[in-house]
Amino acid sequence: MPAFDDDPVIHDVRSRVASLHAQLVRYGLVVWTGGNVSGRVRRGGDPGDDLFVIKPSGVSYDDLTADDLVLCDLDGNVVAGTHGSERAPSSDTAAHAHVYRNMPEVGGVVHTHSTYAVAWAARGEEIPCAITAMADEFGGPIPVGPFAIIGDDSIGRGIVETLRGHRSRAVLMRGHGPFTVGVSAEDAVKAAVMLEDVARTVQIARQGGTVVPLPQEAIDALYDRYQNVYGQQTDARRSAS
């Protein structure tokens, strides 16, 4: 096994996660240094021995390179001596680590304070599944997770408890904001982008009058089709991080 900084798999995850941060900027999901993307590094053995790379804390999106990302183990400890290890990882690192430790199928995690998703989170209200784009992407409503203070495992536990067994790859942490997961970092970023889009659209729809959720059988049919038919065979959504 090569040293971590020479490992082409780690290098590839670093490159992809660094460039995915630009999508948060492009879609207006973040301001200043807020928000973060992480990506799992699969080591090929016990998923508990996997690693992940994550954005350093308080660093500008304009300056972010692959080697600035911080490599951590699934307890959230920085892997000493590797690229970026002189920086503090995102203050949300414990939450990301908890998700990777407890959801081995997850290849990427994203956190933002995107406006409309935070608005629903501030009200502690799940987003009803009222448009076909939501049924396609999330298979139903977007659930609300508990209010949790940063600093221990409580955010990570809230994410896992809410998303485990749920179709949705997005959770609205009450009074805080959204976390999304995916089979890859790209898939988690797509979920963050689509979440803000549906959060905005459904709220704006409701500001103009009554909106009723789609029938459950229509939601089921749309979700099933989208997960199995949409996109190209090489679609990144299908591939692990």
Pick from 118, 160, 163, 170 the residue near a copy of itself by CB under 8 A.
Answer: 118
Active site residues: 111, 113, 136, 176, 230
25-54 burial by CB neighbour count: b if 16+ within 10 A, else e?
eebebbeebebbbbbbbbeeeebeebbbbb
Q: Which residues, at least 6 apart from 163, have a Cβ–Cβ distance to it below 8 Å?
A: 103, 143, 169, 171, 181
63 near a copy of itself (CB under 8 A): no
CB of 49 to a copy of itself, least distance (A): 28
Strands 144-145, 170-173: pairing kind: parallel
Q: How far is the CB of 173 from a copy of itself (least distance, A)?
A: 9
Radius of gyration for the alpha carbons in the chain, expressed in angstroms and rounded: 17
For tokens 């059988």, name the residue. 217
Per-residue x/- mask for a copy of itself, residues 146 to 165, rule CB under 8 A? -x-xxx--------------
Beta carbons within 8 Å of 27's beta carbon, 6+ residues apart? 193, 196
Q: Does 67 bind a copy of itself (CB under 8 A)?
A: no
Q: Is the Cβ of residue 28 or residue 48 nearer to a copy of itself in the bound state?
A: 28
Residue 175 contacts a copy of itself per CB under 8 A: yes
Compute the distance between CA of residue 234 and CA of residue 113 in angstroms, rounded to an integer.
31
Q: Count CB neighbours of 97 within 10 A.
A: 23
115 near a copy of itself, rule: CB under 8 A? yes
CA angle 63, 67, 72 (to 5 degrees): 115
Task: Note whether 172 binds a copy of itself by CB under 8 A.
Answer: no
Which residue has 């951590």 as its token pair? 72
User: Within 10 Å of residue 149's Cβ, how many Cβ atoms?
Assistant: 9
Identity of the residue, 43 or 57, whose beta carbon is nearer to a copy of itself in the bound complex = 57
Task: Mark 30-59 with x for binding to a copy of itself (rule: CB under 8 A) and - for no binding.
Answer: -xxxx---------------------xxxx
Name residues contacting a copy of itself, limited to 186-205 (CB under 8 A). 190, 193-194, 197, 200-205
Contact flag: residue 142 with a copy of itself (CB under 8 A) = no
Question: Out of 76, 107, 177, 182, which residue is the one contacting a copy of itself (CB under 8 A)?
Answer: 177
Residue with tokens 């805080």: 176
Q: Given the rule CB under 8 A, which residues bind a copy of itself?
A: 27, 31-34, 56-59, 87-88, 91, 113, 115-116, 118-123, 125, 130-133, 147, 149-151, 175-177, 190, 193-194, 197, 200-211, 214, 218, 221-222, 225, 229-233, 235, 237
